Amino acid sequence: MNRPKNYRALPFLMGIMLLFSLVLSACSSDNKNAASTPDSGKKAEATPKASPSGSGGAGAGDDKNMSGTVNMWYWDSGFYKPAQEAFNKLYPNIKLNFVQVAAADYVKKVQTSVAAGSELPDIVFGEINARGSLYSLNILDDLTKAPYNFDKSKLLDYVIPQTMNDKGELVSLEWAVSPGGFAYKRNLAKQYFGTDDPDQLSAMFPDWDTFIAKGKEVKEKSNGKVSMIAGLVDAYTTLYPQDATPIIKGTEVNSTEFLTVLKKVQAIRDAGIDQKLDMWSPTWNASYTKDDVIFYPAANWSPKYVIKANDKDSNGRWGIMVPPAGGFSYGGTSLGITKSSKNKDAAWTFLKWYYTTKEGQEVNKTSLDYYVPMKSVFTDSANLSTGADAYFGGQDLGLFWNTKVLPTLKSKPVTKYDNDIYNASTLVAQTMMKDKTFTAETGLEKWKQELKRNHPELTFK
């Protein structure tokens, strides 16, 4: 789910937000002619069978004797084993065939298969920064149309822009919500702010200007030893997705909007309130056990894969709060059905079971502490509780993510440029962190150069 590469076989950003170990490519020669080339923009679709009963999204199909093999490519085994076991109790004749493909190689493998006319999996997974590239290949079905007829109004509003292509088609479903907040060290918060309560801290930092001002106080009180945040990539990771304004529409880049983000990053740098650590580096990981950084961007997958992994021996030392200016969407993985799939009924039966039935939703919650982004899941707060977590000072993280952060989330539409935007942005943030003469304006020009290198068609306003 966009987790750090250190922790998944993914990018995420992560050896990622994560999740299943996947997808086996069934290489039947019959299907080779069904794939399209990047130039053609067309793909011969397999003729779907009659859609299973209930395909409008109300639940899984009624035919429990349905048979077939659903091939999937993915990068993490955390999901598929419990899902497979629970699904096959109801549908014993549908085989979920997962083949593991490293996240870093995923898009290239799909692109190569499309170009060569090779067989694609029935279900394709899209990590947040990579999915726009997958959508642009025109290989995924619109799930709002037959034979699926899914009602997208049943999804949480913020995930919809992340699951649609540039034609406005819903071509995937978000695996789980990925709300982002600030993890913080309770002992340092108590020492420098007088409280370690997450609600009081959130109220104390309503915006980034206040965060920077308080950071200067911490720097002075600690004689420069304690920083508010680990580094400028951490700051960018939080700032960039907090605004839903698109950076790129078509091939036109909103340079003014991006400059606003860079100016905030520079303000943090100029205030001297970051520890100058590169995100995901060994020194960044090690800082979790030290008392020199207070806040870190954190998603709902961070407690398991980042915080506890880096600070194994703590108990009650950590808390999570809503960051300045609100929560943000952090990571995520989507699932879409390929146009060339010969097993659309079985693939859709699995996705419907996973997203719209209590059994499927419960697998997500109990095995991974994740929640599918269906509005119906969030109507009863009692179902969102994960109980007091001693590691986080007794905080109920389930209630925190789903009642404090989720309502504040917005998201940008995905584009095929997202991965390059991320890479160029982190390069600029890292350079800004190391070179005090490197301004937001200088960074913007560097950012443009990096994007132009791979995408000469882009224009900047």
Give the range among 25-39, 146-160, 167-181, 243-257 with minimum mean pLDDT: 25-39
Q: Which of 9, 20, 130 is nearest to 350 (CA)?
A: 20
Phi-psi region of 200 (alpha: psi -120 to 50; beta: other; left: phi over 0): alpha
Residue range 44-80, pLDDT digits in tens: 334 334 333 333 443 345 688 899 999 999 887 666 7
> Would you say 215 and 273 are in contact if contact means Cβ atoms under 8 Å apart?
yes
Whether residue 36 is predicted with pLDDT greater than 60 in this model: the reply is: no
Q: What is the mean pLDDT of the chain?
A: 87
Q: Between 288 and 363, where is the model more confident?
A: 288
Torsions phi, psi for 388 (to 5 deg): -65, 130
> Mean of the pLDDT values across residues 240-251?
94
Q: Between 19 and 232, where is the model more confident?
A: 232
Q: What is the pLDDT of residue 83?
A: 84
One-letter identity of residue 418: D
Whether residue 114 is predicted with pLDDT greater than 60 in this model: the reply is: yes
Q: How far is CA 268 from CA 51, 273, 310, 335, 446, in A?
A: 54, 6, 25, 37, 19
Q: How many CB atoms lie within 10 A of CB 39?
A: 7
Domain 29-177+332-379 is classified in which CATH homologous superfamily? Periplasmic binding protein-like II (3.40.190.10)
Q: What is the pLDDT of residue 28?
A: 35
Half-sphere exposure of 186 toward its Cβ, with a 13 Å CA cutoff? 17
Which strands form 94-100's sheet, in the order they lie side by side?
Answer: 94-100, 68-74, 123-127, 333-337, 173-174
Phi-psi region of 142 (alpha: psi -120 to 50; beta: other; left: phi over 0): beta
Cis peptide before 179 (omega within 30 of 0): no
Structure tokens at 62: 């009624």
Whether residue 108 is predicted with pLDDT greater than 90 in this model: the reply is: yes
Say what the pTM is.
0.84
- 3-class state of residue 76 by DSSP: coil
Residue range 328-368, pLDDT digits in tens: 999 999 999 999 999 999 999 999 999 999 888 988 888 77
CATH 3.40.190.10 in the chain is located at: 29-177+332-379, 179-329+387-408
Dist. CA 448–CA 168, nearest whole Å: 27
- 3-class state of residue 344 by DSSP: helix
Whether residue 150 is predicted with pLDDT greater than 50 in this model: the reply is: yes
Whether residue 23 is predicted with pLDDT greater than 60 in this model: the reply is: no
> Would you say 186 and 318 are in contact if contact means Cβ atoms under 8 Å apart?
yes
Please give the sequence-ordered ranges of beta strands (E in DSSP) within 27-141, or none if there are none: 68-74, 94-100, 123-127
Q: Does domain 179-329+387-408 have CATH number 3.20.20.120?
A: no
Q: What is the pLDDT of residue 78?
A: 66
CA dihedral 296, 302, 304, 308 (to 10 degrees): -10
